Amino acid sequence: MPEAQIVVDNVSHMYRPPRGRAVLALDQISLEVANREFIALLGPSGCGKSTLLYLIGGFLPVETGAIRIDGAPIGGPGPDRGIVFQHFALFPWKTVRGNILYGLERQGMAKAEREKRAMDFINLVGLSGFEDSYPSQLSGGMKQRTAIARTLAFDPKILLMDEPFGALDAQTRGLMQAELLRIWQRTPKTVIFVTHDVQEAVYLADRVAVMSARPGRIKTIVDTKFDKNDPNLFKTKAFVDKVDEIWNLVRDEAIKAQGNRVP
């Protein structure tokens, strides 16, 4: 494997709610992600996938273990990492262009440059002609394209995606998966992608990290490199077998998670 860009080294994380007992969410997680790799985090609900993503993003403090990016420990959120959430998180009072421009304005980019950059990414995600539309006028898929364009526009090295297509209908989700791959191939970045969908993980990622029931651990990492441009990929035996293999791993952990729940 090429030299790691992201190193998660023996990280544990404890949630301490104001009331009730503390909960161990992650237990001694270690993971290495190479530059420009696309890796998916997959596992049962409550296994800590999003927690791990937020730790890498710097939104939660690293209490036990270490997370390093290009050899340096993270000290909070930074412009090297962009995050895309499931529920778009767009400003409803700003247009598509306005949402994308917002981060560029905060960066202090010159007006002419940021206007050009915003339009470049509007074109990249296929929203030409909708740049002056407000979120309320857009479909779910178009809102998520806007959110992706907004994140890509400030050019982070690392893209963190927390179930970005989870709120979309099946048809739109399939289209957005193909769109994300197209964008990633044109603007290669390191991507960490959280999902519950096994087929989505196998289709999108170079590798899939399967996590255990809580407390989350890395159960195994499965290589899922396929020819993403094959129009018949989903029907090939190799792809179907890989989905089945990973589904069985996740199912075992989901059954454990059900058994761990207090009635």
Q: Give me the pLDDT at residue 87, please.
A: 78
**Same-domain check for residues 69 and 186:** yes
Q: What is the CATH number of the domain that holds 229?
A: 3.40.50.300
The highest-confidence range among 17-21, 47-51, 83-87, 178-182, by mean pLDDT, is 47-51
pTM: 0.90
- Residue 65 and residue 18 share a domain: yes
Beta bridge partners of 195: 42
Could you tell me the CA-to-CA distances from 229 to 28, 79, 237, 238 in Å, in that order?
Answer: 36, 31, 16, 15
Does residue 111 sit in the same domain as residue 133? yes
In eight-state DSSP terms, residue 24 is E
The answer on 227 and 99 residing in a single domain is no
Assigned domain for 55 exists? yes
pLDDT over 90 (residue 220): yes
Ordered strands of the 190-195 beta sheet: 81-84, 158-162, 190-195, 38-42, 207-211, 218-223
Within this chain, do residues 190 and 258 fall inside the same structural domain, yes or no? yes
**Burial letters for 65-91: b for 16+ Cβ neighbours within 10 Å, e otherwise?**
bebbbeeeebeeeeebbbbbbbebebe
Angstrom distance (rounded) from CA 245 to CA 77: 35
Same domain, yes or no: 237 and 113: no
What's the Cα-to-Cα distance from 53 to each of 69, 158, 191, rounded to whole Å? 13, 11, 11
Q: Are 188 and 141 members of one domain?
A: no
Instruction: Give a yes or no: residue 239 inside a domain.
Output: yes
In 3D, which of 1, 7, 2 has the Cα closest to residue 158? 7
Residue 85's domain spans which residues? Answer: 81-155
Per-residue pLDDT at 11: 97
Q: For residue 174, is it within any domain?
A: no
Say yes or no to pLDDT of 258 above 60.
yes
Indicate if 1 and 70 belong to the same structural domain: yes
C-alpha neighbours within 13 Å on the C-beta side of residue 152: 24
pLDDT at 226: 94
pLDDT of res. 261: 56
Average pLDDT, the chain: 91
Domain count, the chain: 2
Instruction: Kindly state whether residue 49 falls inside one of the protein's structural domains.
Output: yes
